[in-house]
Structure 1
Amino acid sequence: MSDEGLIDALRAAHGAAARAQAAEVFAVRELYRRHRAESVEPGPGGVRAGEFAASEVAVAVHADEATAGALIDIGLALEESLPRTRLAFEAGRIDLAKVRVIVDSTRGLSREVAGVVETRLIEVAERTEPARLRQAARRWAARLDPRGAQRRRERRQDQRDVRIRAVQDSMAVFDGLLPAPGAQTVAMRLREMSLQVCGQDPRTMPQRRADALVALADGSGRLRCTCGRGRRCANSVVPPQTPRRPLVQIGIPAESLLGTSEAPAFLAGYGPIDAALARTVAEHARFEVISEREESEDGGGRETSARWVRAVDGICRFPGCVVPAAESEPVDGPAEEAGRAAGAGSYVLCARHDRLKVLADKGKTRWCVAPADHDRLRWTAPTGGVHITVREGARYLFPHTDVDRPVGGRTGAEQSEPDSRPLPSDRPTAVDLVFPVAGHLPVHLQLTRIAPEDEIPVTERSADAY
C-alpha cells in the first residue's frame, strides 16, 4: 500500500469509527429513554426517572458512570436540538470529539443563534480539528450574541476549582478550572520560570513546568538549574529581580475597547473572550496599537515587523497548533513583492513547527510550506494533503476581515433575554470521550516530545536543534 493509500485507509477507518461512536451514543440515549418511561411516576422514595441508566451502561461497557452520563447527555442534545449534527455524525463525517464541541458550543444560545452556528460548525468541522473548531464556535457565538457570551462567562466562573487526584506510582494530578486570563497568567509565569535555567539543564519542558509550580508554592519563586556545574553555570548566581506580573496578551478591536462594539477579543493561548472581560483586563494593561497593514515609515525594521506579525497571527501558523504567538518566533516569508507592507510576508511558528519547516526547506522531510496568498499559508503533507492556515489574530483585531463568519442571530433587545438552559459541564475531572488516554505516559522518546508547548526553544538548547 502506498503512503497515499495508507492515508485514505486511515480516513476510511476514522469515518467507520465515527459511525460506531454514533451508534453507541444513540444506543445509550435510547436506553436512557426507556428507563425514563419505566419510572415516570416513581412515587415517594422511588426511583427517579432515568436515574440508573448510566449505571447500567457503565457495567455493560466497563466504563465509569461519568462517561456514560456524558454520552447520554450528548445523545439527548443531538435528538432535541441538533438535527444536522446528528445526521453528519451518523454518516461518519464528523467524530465524537467534534460533536462534543458542537454540543458544548451551542448550549446557552437561543435556538435562532444555535441554528446559525450549528450549520457553519458542521461545514468547518469536516476540515479542521476540535481545538480550532471550539475557537471558531466561541468567536461566532460571541459575535452573534455578545451579551449572551458575557452572561455565560460570568455563570461559568462560578465553577472555578483546583484539585488534586492521586494516580499510580506515588504521583498525583494537579488540575483545575480557572477563568481564562488567570489560567494564562499561571501558564506564562511557569513558562518564564522554565527558561530561567541554562542550556545544560537535563530536564524536559514538562518537568521544568512541574518543578516551577512547586517553586511558586514554596516561596522561592525561581527554578534552580540542575546542570550540576555549580558556579560554572551561568545561572548559578541570579541578581534579585523586581517582581512583575507575567505577560498575558489580548488583542481587542479599538471599537470594543471603547465600548462602541461588542466584538470579541483574542486571548493568546486560549482564544476568544467577550469584550466586557477584555475591557476589565485592559484597565491595568500596556497598549500597543496595531494597524491593519503594517506601515514601513521606520524602514520596516525587524522589531516593528515582529510585533505586527505576532499580533495579527495570534498563534502558531501550523494547522491545529494553538501555541501563542508570544511563545513563537517570526519566520521570514519569500522575497517581498514591491510595495508590500513590511512584515506582511512573514508569519510565526512555535519551536516545534519552526523545526519542521527548517527540515522541509533543507529537503530532509517531504513537507512543503509556502504562502498561498498575502495572508494565507499552505502546508502540503508528505502524502499530498493540503492545509491552509490564516492569520487568527487579525480576525479579532479587524472583525471585518473574518470572511467565514456566519450571519444571523438575535439583535437589539432580544440579546438581553436571559437563557436558563444549563451550560455544558467542563469540570476538571472531565473525560476525553474520543481518545481516553489522559494521564498516559509515552515510553518512546520521540513521543514524549510531540506536544508543541513541550519543545524547548532553540536558543535554550545546548546542542544544534536541526
Structure 2
Amino acid sequence: MFDSHLVTAHGELRAERAATARRLIALGRYTGVRMAELGNTHQDWVVDDWELVAVEVATELGIGRQRASTEMAHGRTLIERLPRLAEVFLAGDLEYGHFTAIAARTALIVDPDLLGIVDERVAAQAPGWAARSRDRVAELVDWLVLEVDPEAIRVAKQRRAERRIDVTPAGNGLADVIGTADAADAAVFDKRLDELARTVCPNDPRSHAERRADALRALSEGATRLACMCGSAECPAGTAEAPAGSIVIHVLAEQATVEGDSETPGLLPGYGAIPAEQVRQMAARARCTPVPRPPALPTEPGYRPSARLADFVRARDLTCRWYGCNAPAEVSDIDHTVPWPAGVTHPSNTKLYCRTHHLVKTFYTGWSDIQGPDGSLTLISPAGRVYQSTPDGALFFPQLAARTGLLTRAQAPPPTPTRGLAMPTRARPRAHERAYRIARERALNRARAEANPPPF
C-alpha cells in the first residue's frame, strides 16, 4: 500500500513551491509599487531607489540585501516577463531552482512577442521537468530559445572564465579551500606545497598531507620553510622565516585562554570557534592587543574614534548592526548613532554599519536608530516598523555586552538641502547598465552566428 506519509510529503512539496511563488510575486508587486512611489529619482546614486527597496525588503524579512534584490527581480520577472510560467509555479508544478534557470536563460529576449512565445512553450512543458536537474532544464530552455530568438541564447561561459578559489568555514577551527585555477598555476602551487612540506625534519609528527595543509600559511606569508613541530632545540631543519606582511586577521579570545588557564575556545569571526590550544599557538606568533573594558572608554573629543574605541566596537559588534545584515567588521564603518557633533564619540553612540546601510541612514530620510548602553540597537523604518538588533560579539563573550554608559540622547540636526551631493554616484544608471549588458551579449551572439553560419 502506498504510504500516506509519502502522499503528505508530496503535497507539502507542492505547497512549498506555491508558497515560494506567492512570496516572489508579492515582493515583485511591492517593488513595483515602491519604485513608483520613489519616482526613480536617484538613478545615479550608488544606493539608488532599487537598492533602497532591497534594504526595506531585507530588513523586513531578515535576509541578506543581495538575496532580497535577487528575489525582487525574480518577482518582477514572474509578473512582467513570464506570467504563464508564474501560473505553473503558483500551482506547485515548478521547482524554485528550475525557475531561476528559466529566468536566466530567457533574460536576453527583448521582443515581447518572442518572449510570449517562449513563455507559453516553457509553461506547457515545465510540469514535466520536475525530476530533471537544473542543468538539464537550462539545456531544454536553451533549445526553445534557439528556435525562437537565436540572438538571445545564453552562451555558456568558458570553463577558464569560471576559475575561482573559495574559502568557507568548516567548523572546529578549520576551513575548506576549494577552487578551479589555471592548470599551469595549479601545478606550480601543488609542487610548492610539496616542497614546503618537505622542509621539516624526519621527526616532525605530522603526515605529509597535514604538512601540505599547514604549508598554506607559510606560502601566504612568503616563508621559505615550514616550521617544524618536532619540538627539538637541535632540529636540523632550523626555523621558518617569513617576512613581515600586511595581512591581518583578528581572533578574539579570553586572556585566560591565551595564558593557558582556560580551555574556552577563541573566535575567528566568520569561521567560528578556534580550539584553545590553537589559540595559544597563534598567540605565540601574533601581536596580542587587549580589548578595553567599557569603563576605560570615555567620551572622545573628535569625530574619528580612537584605535581603542574602534577595537572595542568591532569586537562587540563583529558585523554590520542593521537588522538582517551580516557584513563583517572589516568592511563596515563605525557610525555615530546620533550624528556627530550632536552625538558624541562614545561606545554607547557608535556601532558598525556596512557602507550601504551607512549611506541609507545618512542620505535617505525616514530611517532612525536608537542605541542602548549594552550595544543593543532599535531600528525604525520610514513606515514605523521596529527591528531589534543585538551585538554578535556579546553572544560569544557576554562581557562585551557590559553597559558602556547611559547617554542623554541628543536631537539629530535636520538634513541640509545639499546633503545628497555627497552621495557616491554610479558610472551609469542600473537600468542602462542592464540594457547595455543585454545588447552587448546579443551582439556577440549575432557576430558569432555570422562568423559561423549553419551548417556548423
Same-fold status (TM-score > 0.5): no
Q: With the length of structure 1 as denominator, give the TM-score of the two structures.
A: 0.36
TM-score, structure 2 as length reference? 0.36
**Bigger relative CO (Cα 8 Å, ≥ 6 apart):** 1
